[in-house]
Amino acid sequence: MILVTGAGGKTGRAVLRAAAARRLDARAMVHRPEHGEAVRAAGAADVIAGDLRDPGVLALAVKDVDAVYHICPNVHPDEVKIGRAAVEAARAAGVRRFVFHSVLHPQIEAMPHHWRKLRVEELLLASGLEVTILQPASYMQNVLPQWSAIAARGLYSVPYPSTTPLCMVDLADVAEAAATVLAEDGHAGATYELAGPEALTPERIAEIVGHALNREVEVEEVGLDGWAERARASGMRDDAIDTLIAMFRYYARYGFHGSPRVLTMLLGRPPASFEAFVARVLAGGG
């Protein structure tokens, strides 16, 4: 039995589906009970709802599991506190294997949510557990919230220059790699970077999507103030907005690069290209 924390989001559900494909029994920990149906549909055999900061709920979640796959909610300000609580719960329950869903290049202090994940990695390396750390790039699936607008208006909006090179990865490949390290022995002590085949600029993304949709797609640079206004209107927390703005500033200055070699090794094949991802979306996948 494996426990997937933070299982209600797109990452958790993808990991559950990949685990089910490897015939791994999985328990899903979600924040709200109403997420239970979605994670069961993704393959969870058992569901526990509660706050990751609650030691009592965590103790119940790790009971009788062999491995933990820990996902912290995105850009959570209490990431280090949550990570420490998850580690302590796993150790207290005698869980031997702990896989942490980190981020590509967590050592970049200019991006606060990356830096917090590095602090959790540090905790894990001193935990005495059989630790595997996965460091995925940003997902190709992050384009999907704009998909309808792109198709309708021919605009792909970004809060950084249209020439910014960004490494992305297909979440399905990340989930497959996660299931691999959960199902197989020999990954203890490893830190694996999970990156797609190339860095793409927004201009190139627009070109690929436009070609697939058979229409012209242009990049709309909304700027940080414009992006923040939209994010605030959608209900995003101020701390999350500030964290993501710091990330966008880093992207604009340096881009974000990674290598596909490690993910290729884990998958036994090259990771999916953005073109292949777009083709799957048009075929009804995601």
Cα 1 from Cα 93, distance rounded (Å):
13
Q: What is the pLDDT of residue 285?
A: 79
One-letter identity of residue 128? G
Cα 98 from Cα 70, distance rounded (Å):
7
Question: Quick one: which of 178, 175, 146 has its CA closest to 281?
Answer: 146
Specify the CATH number of the domain 2-137+170-194+258-272.
3.40.50.720
| Tokens 């896989």, located at residue | 99
Q: Is the pTM of this model over 0.75?
A: yes
Per-block mean pLDDT, blocks of 10 residues, the chain (286 long): 97 98 97 95 97 95 97 96 97 97 98 98 97 98 95 96 98 98 97 97 98 96 95 96 98 98 98 97 87
DSSP strand pairing (166-169 vs 199-200): antiparallel
In the chain, where the domains are located: 2-137+170-194+258-272
Can you give the length of the chain in residues?
A: 286
User: DSSP letter string over 187-254?
Assistant: -TT-EEEE--S-EE-HHHHHHHHHHHHTS--EEEE-HHHHHHHHHHHTT--HHHHHHHHHHHHHHHHH
Largest interatomic CA distance in the chain: 56
